[in-house]
Amino acid sequence: MAVRLGDDAPDFTAETTEGTLSFYDWKGDSWALLFSHPKDFTPVCTTELGAVAGRKPEFDKRDTKIIGLSVDPLDSHQDWAGDIADVTGNALNFPLIADADRKVADLYDMIHPEANDTLTVRSIFVIGPDNKVKLTLTYPASTGRNWDEILRVIDSLQLTAKHKVATPSDWTDGDDVIISGAVSDEDAKDAFPDGWDAKKPYLRLTKQPDK
Ligand code: BEZ
C-alpha cells in the first residue's frame, strides 16, 4: 500500500553499504531523506548519487540523514561506488540499501509495475523527527532529480513545523512567508510583531521568523 503524508514511516532492518541497520535506530530523532534509484551502473543514477553525496554537508546542516536504495545486491553497490566517485568526484558518504529481496521497496511502494515491474522508480520520502512522512515525490527513471529543490523543501518543512506559517511558490530560505490562515489578525499581532502585508485578507506576507 502507498505510504502517504502523515503516515508513520515503515520501520525496517536492511543490509547497506555501511552495514546492517534498523531504520528507526539509525535515524534517531533526526530528519531523514530515504530515496530509491532504479539500478546501479546506469547513467542518470550515477549522476544522482554523486550529486547527493556532494550536498551531504547541506543535509547535515539541516540535521537530515540520507539513505539510498535499489534492488541491486551489496557487491554491486560496492563496485558501483568507485564509478560514482570517478565520474562525479564525490565518494558515496551515506548508506545505500541493498534491497535484492525488495522488502523495503515493497514496504514503501517503490516499484510501480506500469513503469517497470522489477526496478524501483525514483521515489523520495522525507521523514520527520517524529517518524511521520512529511514529503513524498516520484520521478520516472528518465529524469534525474534536483537535490537543491529537496533541500529547499526541507527548509520549508522545518520552518513550518516550528512556526504558524506556510511558504509561497518558489520560496527560498530568507524570503517572506505566509501567516497561517488559522492565525487570527489579533493573534498575529503577538506572533508577528513586525507586522505583515495583507495582499488579500487570506494572504498575509510577513518576514521569515528566526531570520
Ligand atoms: C539511468 O539511471 O540512467 C536509468 C536507470 C534505469 C532505467 C533507465 C535509466
Q: What tens digit of pLDDT does each residue of 39-61 get?
A: 999 999 999 999 999 999 999 99
User: How many angstroms separate the alpha carbon of residue 4 from the centre of ligand 1?
Assistant: 25
User: How many angstroms separate the alpha carbon of residue 40 from the centre of ligand 1?
Assistant: 9
Residue 209 burial by Cβ neighbours in a 10 Å radius (0-12, 13-18, 19+): middle
Determine the 3-state secondary structure of 166 from DSSP.
strand
Q: State the pLDDT at residue 92.
A: 98
Distance CA 134, CA 195 (A): 29
pTM of the model: 0.97
pLDDT tier for residue 192 given thresholds of 50, 70 and 90 = very high
pLDDT tier for residue 1 given thresholds of 50, 70 and 90 = confident
Q: Does the CB atom of residue 45 touch ligand 1 within 6 A?
A: yes
C-alpha cell at 17: 553499504
First to last CA, the chain: 40
Contacts of 72 (CB under 8 A, 6+ apart): 39, 40, 80, 98, 100
Residue type, 210: D
pLDDT tier for residue 123 given thresholds of 50, 70 and 90 = very high
Residue ranges per domain, the chain?
A: 13-145, 163-206
Q: CATH code for 13-145? A: 3.40.30.10
List the 165-166 sheet strands across, edge first. Answer: 165-166, 177-179, 203-206, 197-200
Q: State the pLDDT at residue 211.
A: 87
Q: Does the CB atom of residue 141 touch ligand 1 within 6 A?
A: yes
Note whether 13-145 and 163-206 share their fold: no
Topology, domain 163-206: Antioxidant, Horf6; Chain A, domain 2 (3.30.1020)
